[in-house]
Amino acid sequence: MVISLDLHNKKQKMIFACPINGRYNDTSGFIMCEQLKTIDYEERGVRLIDRANDEILAEVLKTPDLIIWGG
């Protein structure tokens, strides 16, 4: 799940992403927020599969915020 802003992604050619455990549309999977990754999206051939709703995004962003800023 990409959590970085489009402006950053396009300028840096990198994305910040949280891995998702499970297959697409697998309701038993989960977003591993504590395992934030930096990815060269062009090199890795990343593509958009779906968009998370605002509620899920807000919940996911809490963990990196706590790790970086201490909440």
Query: What's the whole-model pTM score?
Result: 0.77
- Full residue range of the structural domain in which residue 52 is found: 6-69
Query: For 3-25, how does the pLDDT look when each residue is reduced to its tens digit (9 = 90+)?
Result: 999 999 999 999 999 998 876 66
Does some domain include residue 22?
A: yes
Q: Count how many domains the chain has.
A: 1
Does some domain include residue 38?
A: yes
Does some domain include residue 25?
A: yes
Percentage of the chain with pLDDT > 90?
Answer: 39
Distance CA 47, CA 51 (A): 12
CATH number of the domain bearing residue 47: 2.30.30.110
Query: For 22-56, how does the pLDDT look when each residue is reduced to its tens digit (9 = 90+)?
Result: 766 666 678 888 888 999 999 999 888 888 899 98
Does some domain include residue 1?
A: no
Secondary structure E strands in the chain: 15-17, 20-21, 30-31, 37-39
